[in-house]
Amino acid sequence: MILCHTIKEVRAAIKEHRKSGCEVAFVPTMGNLHTGHVQLVHEAHEAGDIVVCSIFVNPMQFGPNEDLDAYPRTLEADSEKLTEAGCHILFVPNANEMYPNGIEAQTQVNVPELVEELCGASRPGHFTGVTTVVTKLFNIIQPDIALFGQKDFQQLAVIRKMAADLCMPVEIIGVSTVRAESDLALSSRNGYLTEQELATAPQLYQTLVKIKQAIEKGGKDFDTLCAQGNEELSQLGFTPDYLSVRRQSDLKPAGPDDDELVILAAAHLGKARLIDNIAFALNHN
Ligand code: PAF
């Protein structure tokens, strides 16, 4: 695996492969890699010839009171995992390489509407930070294919819309969430949980499953189902942020006649803000 720290180095490393007609599959990450990231790399192998990954804890997508400083940085262990998973080129820029004139002076990429709700409502500016850095990374790497986890369902939707609206020549692939045996969605932020919180955390997904089952049995009052879910989460020790049944297509609130649904949740537990979702189709016949 070739390790590059500068834009110049990574462009030169990719150029060699592109000359021989290789398709480039790209996995952007913030590091502290777990099995979910490794799965993205495996799927990148299936999708393209050359796998490029990036590790960059993007300051632009963190709010002032969020965990930018605490976010785990584990480059050595990450490099080992990526080498083992068969990543060919790893790009690890620093903030100065990505934002040489500072974040305030950085041109921004903003996807309207979709970013205003759910995670966007509780983390103002977050998705602008994501879409700006992903655009920069796409321009640096120029991938044919880019892979993102479905755990960040809204992020995936925002990136798909950005790529479509801006005619970016890249295919966006969403990869299924990888879960622990307990069904807890793998996340770098799970590392903030105490042992006791780790035992509670899978209840977030169980709440989504319960709501899905109620809807499949004919439940149509989504607001009440979510209010009950929030109540149960609070009793378990979570501080719920949102719990909502949405249309998969545009993440607008779902109605009883919609059939492609996704239930999305975010909740704080101890020092961690956990997110999860469950997407499913209803057959109204
Ligand atoms: O999902 C992430 O890890 C980040 O939001 C991403 C896509 C790497 C952009 O910083």
- Asked if residue 124 and residue 219 are part of one domain, the reply reads no
Predicted confidence (pLDDT) per residue in 65-118, tens digit: 999 999 999 999 999 999 999 999 999 999 999 999 999 999 999 999 999 999
Backbone angles phi, psi at 240, to 5 degrees: -65, 140
- Asked if residue 233 and residue 120 are part of one domain, the reply reads no
Predicted confidence (pLDDT) per residue in 232-266, tens digit: 999 999 999 999 999 999 999 999 999 999 999 99
CATH number, residue 224:
3.30.1300.10
129, 61 contact by CB (below 8 A): yes
- Does residue 161 sit within a domain? yes
Q: Of all protein residues, whose CA lies closest to atom 5 belonging to ligand 1?
A: 130
CATH number, residue 100:
3.40.50.620
- Does residue 283 sit within a domain? no
Q: Of all protein residues, whose CA lies closest to atom 3 belonging to ligand 1?
A: 29
Confidence (pLDDT) at 101: 98
Domain count, the chain: 2
- Asked if residue 112 and residue 17 are part of one domain, the reply reads yes
**In whole angstroms, what is the distance from residue 247 CA to residue 255 CA?**
8
Q: Look at residues 151, 175, 199 and tell me which one is the last residue of a structural domain.
A: 175
Greatest alpha-carbon pair distance for the chain in Å reads: 58
- Asked if residue 196 and residue 138 are part of one domain, the reply reads no
pTM greater than 0.95: yes
Question: Reading across the β-sheet that carries 24-29, which strands appear in turn?
Answer: 2-4, 89-91, 50-55, 24-29, 145-149, 171-175
Which value, to the nearest 10 degrees, does the dihedral of the CA atoms of residues 148, 77, 269, 127 take? -30
Of all atoms in ligand 1, which is nearest to the CA of residue 149?
1
- Does residue 116 sit within a domain? yes
- Asked if residue 135 and residue 200 are part of one domain, the reply reads no
Q: Look at residues 123, 152, 175 and tell me which one is the last residue of a structural domain.
A: 175
**3-state SS string for 34-90:** CHHHHHHHHHHHHHCCEEEEEECCCHHHCCCCCCCCCCCCCHHHHHHHHHHHCCCEE
Q: Look at residues 123, 151, 175 and tell me which one is the last residue of a structural domain.
A: 175
Q: Of all protein residues, whose CA lies closest to atom 2 belonging to ligand 1?
A: 29
Q: How far is the CA of 255 from the centre of ligand 1 (A)?
A: 31
- Does residue 183 sit within a domain? no
- Asked if residue 170 and residue 197 are part of one domain, the reply reads no
- Does residue 284 sit within a domain? no
pLDDT band at 141 (very low <50, low <70, confident <90, very high): very high
Catalytic residue set: 37
- Asked if residue 218 and residue 92 are part of one domain, the reply reads no
Ligand 1 site: residues with CB under 6 angstroms? 28-30, 58, 61, 130, 133-134, 152, 155
Identify each DSSP E strand in the chain by its residue range: 2-4, 24-29, 50-55, 89-91, 145-149, 171-175, 239-247, 260-269, 272-281
Q: How far is the CA of 21 from the centre of ligand 1 (A)?
A: 28
pLDDT band at 176 (very low <50, low <70, confident <90, very high): very high
- Does residue 285 sit within a domain? no
- Asked if residue 205 and residue 109 are part of one domain, the reply reads no
- Does residue 253 sit within a domain? yes
Of all atoms in ligand 1, which is nearest to the CA of residue 28?
8
Taking residues 1-30, report their average pLDDT.
Answer: 96
Task: Output 12-16 pairs: Cβ under 8 A, ≥24 positions apart.
Answer: 13/89, 14/50, 14/52, 14/89, 14/141, 14/142
Q: How much of the chain, in percent, has pLDDT values that exceed 90?
A: 99
Which residues neighbour 265 within 8 Å (Cβ) at sequence distance 6 or greater? 204, 207, 208, 229, 233, 240, 241, 242, 243, 244, 275, 276, 277
Enclosing domain of residue 272? 188-278
